[in-house]
Amino acid sequence: MSSFIPHLAISITFVGLTSVVWFLVYQPCCNVPFPPGPRGLPFAGNLLDVPSGKEWLTFAKWGEIYGNILSVSILGRRLVVINEAQTAIDILDKNGAIYSDRPIMGMIGELMGFKNWLVLLPYGTRLRNQRRLVHHELSSHAATKQSQLIIEHETSRLLWRLSVKPEHLSDHIRKTTGTIMLRIIFGYEIQEENGIFSFTFLVDEEW
């Protein structure tokens, strides 16, 4: 009995310290409330509520209950979901300087060496400089006109593919999106049967 009491005290102390650490690490540092959202479980949050596929359908359903802006918690990380296009533009475009920060992605950013990619950069001088360059290259009148011509051309190819194989709608849309991106960014035009695009499509599937 005498040996049991110290072990019990150690266990209680450990649980108490763990709870304090969890509260300090995962709870918000300010009193500003998050948008409403579904109630989650302790520690796990809404991990079991968010499906592994077509999660946007679940977000849209929640949007009907909690509004265009809602939040969910997954393992202590709070995620804000925007369900309305104009709201997303107002927040992420018109007020991009406020909401441009990103969480650190340990695997793809630090371990795989992509931490300096624009989409993974945290807010700071490097991000501002890269966004300024991208805006200069893509927002000029000539660039906008060229991009519009590319989009119109690839849209016509999309319609042709749909007329031939309408049952492959999802694949056609993904191919058209990837083709437009490659043409605008790299100037590379994908042909109908192209090994490079097949490889890119395979990588996207595996990712």
Cβ atoms within 10 Å, residue 72: 24
Q: Which two tokens stand for residue 192?
A: 């109908």
Q: What residues make up the domain containing 176?
A: 140-206
Instruction: Please indicate whether residue 98 or residue 42 has the higher confidence score (pLDDT).
Output: 42
Task: Name the least confident of 65-79, 133-147, 190-204.
Answer: 190-204
What confidence score (pLDDT) does residue 17 get? 56
> What number of residues does the chain have?
207
**Mean pLDDT over each residue of the chain, to the nearest integer:** 78
> What are the tokens at 79?
């995620």
In a domain, 194, yes or no: yes
Residue 160 inside a domain? The answer is yes
Q: What integer pLDDT is reported at residue 137 of this predicted model?
A: 73
Give the torsion through C-alpha atoms of 188, 100, 205, 81, to 10 deg: -140
Higher pLDDT, 64 or 30: 64
Among 69, 66, 61, 57, smallest CA distance to 39 is for 66
- Check residue 203 and give its pLDDT: 46
Where do the H-state alpha helices sit in the chain?
A: 4-26, 55-66, 85-88, 125-139, 141-164, 169-186, 195-206
Examine the pLDDT at 98 and tell me if it is beyond 90.
no
Q: What is the DSSP letter of 90?
A: I
Has this prediction a pTM greater than 0.75?
no
Q: pLDDT digit string (tens) for 147-167? A: 889 999 999 999 999 999 999
pLDDT average, residue stretch 89-102: 78
Q: What is the DSSP string of 66-95?
A: H-SEEEEEETTEEEEEE--HHHHIIIIITT
How far apart CA 55 and CA 74 sit, in angstroms, is 14
The whole-number pLDDT of residue 102 equals 76
Q: How many domains does the chain have?
A: 1
**Residue 190 domain flag:** yes
Q: Does 202 fall in a domain? A: yes
173 within some domain: yes
* Number of CB atoms found within 10 A of residue 71's CB: 17
pLDDT at 207: 44
In a domain, residue 63? The reply is: no
Q: What is the pLDDT of residue 143?
A: 77
Cβ-defined contacts of 111-115 (< 8 Å, 24+): none
DSSP 41: B
Q: 157 lies in a domain?
A: yes
Task: Please tell me the predicted confidence (pLDDT) of residue 206.
Answer: 45
- DSSP single-letter state for residue 46: T
d(CA 66, CA 86): 17
Query: pLDDT tens digit string along 109-136?
Result: 778 888 888 778 888 888 888 888 877 7
**Residue 198 falls within a domain, yes or no?**
yes
pLDDT recorded at residue 125: 86
